[in-house]
Amino acid sequence: ADSATLDKTAGKDAANDKPTFVSLMGIDAATRYAQRLTADAIAALPKTMNTQRLTELARSMVERTA
- The 10s digit of each residue's pLDDT in 2-44 is 767 666 777 777 778 788 888 899 989 999 999 999 999 999 9
Distance (Å, whole) CA 11 – CA 17? 10
* Maximum alpha-carbon separation in the chain: 47
- 3-class secondary-structure state, position 18: coil
Distance (Å, whole) CA 13 – CA 23? 10
Q: pTM for this one?
A: 0.71
Distance (Å, whole) CA 50 – CA 38? 17
pLDDT at residue 66, as a whole number: 63
pLDDT at residue 57, as a whole number: 95
**Cβ(38)–Cβ(61) below 8 Å:** yes
